[in-house]
Structure 1
């Protein structure tokens, strides 16, 4: 029976707790921690847990029974907490974004390697049936080389969203919608399509003058083979219609699922390629649905890796790639220059200090509250 600790009792913690409770024959939550311990106590009561409550994660480090830690705290704390538990001998599942800087990612990965422990970064949208099926369709290469990708990470958040004490600042949140909302789609994009060779980006804050960070960014990614991708990250889009579209030379597929294939007439105009469409649709339809999805799917993956001494789908190396793309978007949009990948220690945005110094500050944070009294937590359109 694996013993679990939950660090952070904010909005995302219930998703972890519910997921662990799906596997009660394999794991047990024995510790919970939050700087506001009453929040952890409320969750303990809500989910009928018997976990010990702490107000500082360091008080848990001396326990020798913690097999896996879920880090559900604000982004600026991810590196310290993860590294502490890795050195203490625990495996770690850390919420997105992995950290506030590439330097912190590298330190986290080094700690995982040194202690021979699993470091997994939450990317629960990979663990959905539509995304897994789309990935497998792309892997067939039936579409031909990808020539254009469209990533629409459209979300909507009201002005008060950034009133929460840690949101809306480069120091504590680490960035705006590009880092904290589009991270899901950017992760899937680089998982499915690989890393580009350069990024050119612009960003703005159009609707949230109580935040330093951006509420929209648009990036163009270029690959060595000439393929282009456009990535829009936003919290100003009503309806939150989110999609990933991959245009191959032979066909187009997307999530939500849509398929179209064309071939050329003699005059160069398109006509439907029904044979290829039928082949791709048949392949898509015969793929099995996932047994566990979202956080449950990822937690099942991590538990299995611990139990079998196996590998996780999203490790710290994958998590770093996603943050590298996001960092490149911030570097390009802040400095007004195209950024070549990969980013190294020479990047002015490699460290947290470099991000704080060089990132565009749109406004000053004007309001800071400890917690919201009410309101539903929603997870987007698709």
Structure 2
């Protein structure tokens, strides 16, 4: 039986608890930790859990009965907590984003490699049937080489969203929607199509004057073969209509699912290529739906890895790549220059100190509250 602890009793912790409870034959939640112990107690009562309640994560570090820990705390705390857990012989699942800087990611990956313990980064949208099916289509190469990708990470958050004490600051949240919302779609994009070689970006704060960070960014990435990607990260889009569109030389596919293919007439104008469309559609329909999706899917993946049955799909190396792309967007938008990838320790945004020094500071945070009375969250698009 795998003994599990949850560090951080905020809104996302419920998704972890619900997921672990689905695999009660493999694991048992034995501890919940939060700097506000009442939140941890309320969470335990809500799920009828008989667990230890800890106020400081060091208690979890020192609890030798714990095998696996979900870290659900604000991003700026991830590295310190994860590294200590790894060195205390625990496996670690860290909520997105992986950390506040590439320097912290590198330290986390070094700890995982040195200890041999599992470090996985939450990317629950990879564990959705539409995403896995789309990945299979791209891997088939039926579309031909990708020439353009469109990533629309559209979310909407009200003005009060940034009233929570750790949100809306570069120091504690580490950024706005580019880091904390679009991380899902940026992760899926780089997993499916690899990393571009350069990024040019702009960002703004158009509707949240109570936050230092951006509420929208738009980035263009370029590959060595000349193909382009455009990435929009936003919390100002009503309707939250999220999508990823891949344009290949032969066809176009996307989530939500759609396939369209064109071939050229003698004069260069398009006509439908129904043969390619049928082949791609048939392959898509051949793909089975996942048994476990979202957070349950990723937690099942981690539990299987802890038992030695597989490698995790999303390790710290994958988590770093996603943050590298996000960091490049912030660096380009803040300094007004195209950024070449990969980013190294020479990058002005490699460290948290560099981010705090150079990132564009839009407004002063005007309100800081400890907790919301309503802790419910919504998760945007369903991709069907």
What band does the TM-score fall into relative to the shorter chain? over 0.9
Aligned to 2:158: 158
1:222-301 equivalence runs, <5 A: 222-301=222-301
- Indicate the residue corresponding to 2:124 in structure 1: 124
Report the RMSD for the aligned CA atoms in angstroms.
0.7
Counterpart for residue 92 of structure 2: 92
How many angstroms does 1:381 deviate by?
A: 2.9
Separation (CA, whole Å) in 2 of partners of 1:179 and 1:255 = 21
Which whole-Å deviations, capped at 9, do the CAs of 1:228-256 have from their partners, x for residues lacking one?
A: 00000000000000000000000000000
Q: 1-side partners of 2:375 and 2:24: how far apart?
A: 29
User: What is the CA deviation profile of residues 70-93 of structure 1, one whole-angstrom value per residue up to 9, with x for unaligned ones?
Assistant: 000000000000001000000000
Unmatched segments (≥5 aa) in structure 1:
none
Deviation at 1:376, TM superposition (A): 3.4
Question: How far 1:310 sits from its partner (Å)?
Answer: 2.9
After TM superposition, the structure 1 = structure 2 runs for residues 185-204 of structure 1, keeping only pairs within 5 Å, are 185-204=185-204
Contact 2:11 2:375 (C-alpha < 8 Å) held by counterparts: no
Q: Does 1:76 align with 2:87?
A: no
Q: Partners of 2:225 and 2:278 in 1: how far apart? A: 28
Q: Give the gaps of 5 or more residues in structure 2.
A: none
State the Cα deviation string for residues 98-141 of structure 1 (Å, max 9, x = none): 00000000000000000001000000000000000000000000
What CA deviation, in whole Å up to 9, does each residue of 1:191-240 have, x standing for no partner?
00000000000000000000000000000000000000000000000000
Name the CA distance, whole Å, in 2 between partners of 1:81 and 1:94: 10
Matched, 1:348 2:363: no
**Structure 2 residue aligned with 1:27:** 27
| Counterparts of 1:14 and 1:60, CA distance in 2 | 18
Q: What does 1:48-63 correspond to in 2, within 5 Å?
A: 48-63=48-63
Task: Give the CA deviation at 1:375.
Answer: 5.8
* Mapped partners of 1:360, 1:325: distance in 2: 17
Please show how residues 204-223 of structure 1 align to structure 2 within 5 Å. 204-223=204-223
Separation in structure 2 between the aligned mates of residue 11 and residue 43 of structure 1, nearest angstrom:
10
Question: SS state of the match for residue 83, structure 1?
Answer: helix
Moved over 3 A (4+): none
CA contact (8 A) 2:104 2:351 kept: yes
Q: Count matched residues.
A: 382
Q: Is the 8 A contact 2:212 2:362 kept in 1?
A: yes
How many angstroms apart in 1 are the aligned matches of 2:50 and 2:135?
40
Match of 2:381 in 1: 381
Question: SS at 1:167's partner residue?
Answer: coil
Mapped to 2, the partners of 1:210 and 1:103 lie a distance apart of 28
Offset, 1:373: 1.2
Deviation at 1:309, TM superposition (A): 5.3
Query: Which secondary structure does the structure 2 equivalent of 1:69 belong to?
Result: strand
* Counterparts of 2:172 and 2:353, CA distance in 1: 12
